[in-house]
């Protein structure tokens, strides 16, 4: 154990840093050393808002077919790494497929659901008209009340509209 640490520290054959840059002692060995690569620091810029990945139903079915046709778990792992997916994706997509929700495999619209009734615009128009007419009725009733009070004050008898209809 200690001898391995000493060999690594001395730059023995095969000893490399985790970053992929060879130790100083391995560069002198020539063919066995890794070529030195230019070091580029990672881009510190982070996007403001990450974009959500959306998968089409065809893509999901294709990935499920590939996963089902693979013979070993290593093949499934390689498929997931290659496509940048998680095993939970496969689980969810399989459940959706078994439930017969082919349309459920397609990405869904996010946010509040639009649940407007087909007659909703007509209902809104009628409600608005109803409110307008109720306001007009209140005004008309107020005017009639004022006319009654004025006629009583002046002593003018009002005609009863029900009696006129009988004539």
Residues 6+ apart with CB under 8 A from 38: none
What are the tokens at 7?
Answer: 């060999």
Q: What is the residue extent of each domain of the chain?
A: 1-35, 57-105, 123-159
Interatomic CA distance for residues 37 and 20, integer angstroms: 8
What are the tens digits of pLDDT across the range 71-119? 877 899 899 999 999 989 999 888 888 877 656 556 667 777 777 788 8
Interatomic CA distance for residues 94 and 100, integer angstroms: 10
pTM of the model: 0.37
Can you tell me the mean pLDDT for 143-157? 89
pLDDT over 90 (residue 141): yes
Query: What pLDDT does residue 98 have?
Result: 82
């Amino acid at each position: 154990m200690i001898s391995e640490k000493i060999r690594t520290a001395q730059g023995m054959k095969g000893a490399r840093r985790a970053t992929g840059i060879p130790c100083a002692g391995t560069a002198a060995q020539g063919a066995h050393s890794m070529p030195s690569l230019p070091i580029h620091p990672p881009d510190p810029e982070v996007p403001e808002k990450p974009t959500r990945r959306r998968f089409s139903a065809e893509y999901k079915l294709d990935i499920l077919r590939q996963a089902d046709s693979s013979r070993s778990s290593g093949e499934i792992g390689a498929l997931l790494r290659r496509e940048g997916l998680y095993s939970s994706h496969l689980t969810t997509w399989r459940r959706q497929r078994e439930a017969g929700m082919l349309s459920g495999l397609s990405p869904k619209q996010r946010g509040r659901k639009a649940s407007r009734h087909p007659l909703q615009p007509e209902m809104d128009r009628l409600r608005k008209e109803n409110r307008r007419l109720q306001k007009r009725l209140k005004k008309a009733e107020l005017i009639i009340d004022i006319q009654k009070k004025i006629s009583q004050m002046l002593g003018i008898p009002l005609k009863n509209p029900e009696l006129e209809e009988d004539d």
